[in-house]
Amino acid sequence: MDIVYVRDLRVEALIGIYDWERSMRQTVRIDLEMGWNNSIPAHSDDINDTLNYKEAAKMISAFVADSQFQLVETLAEKIAHCLLAKFDLPWVKVTLGKPSAVTGSSEVGVIIERSREQH
């Protein structure tokens, strides 16, 4: 299976469990890896046969910006669910990080992989 990816998508979101986090937006960083058969668009050279990564990134950016989850685990799960449903992907891997969430670290977060069967 081929992979279509988006790296380092940054979105301002309301996320966190602490009162101070609920009063301000924070940057979250997202990497997406989406399973897709690229042999079809490679042969057709037709954009309509591709997984539209720009559309996927725009959809996830809007979703994250409008979200108000407490946990990064929940947000990552919802991102995976959105992508699997909208693009009929066989699988997706979501890396979701909160930069500077822990003193002394550059980022903390989660990495999840979900498949159509788990959806």
- Residues noted as catalytic: 98
29 close to 6: Cβ distance less than 8 angstroms:
no
**34: exposed, middle or buried (Cβ count in 10 Å: 0-12, 13-18, 19+):** buried
Neighbour tally for 100: CB within 10 Å: 13
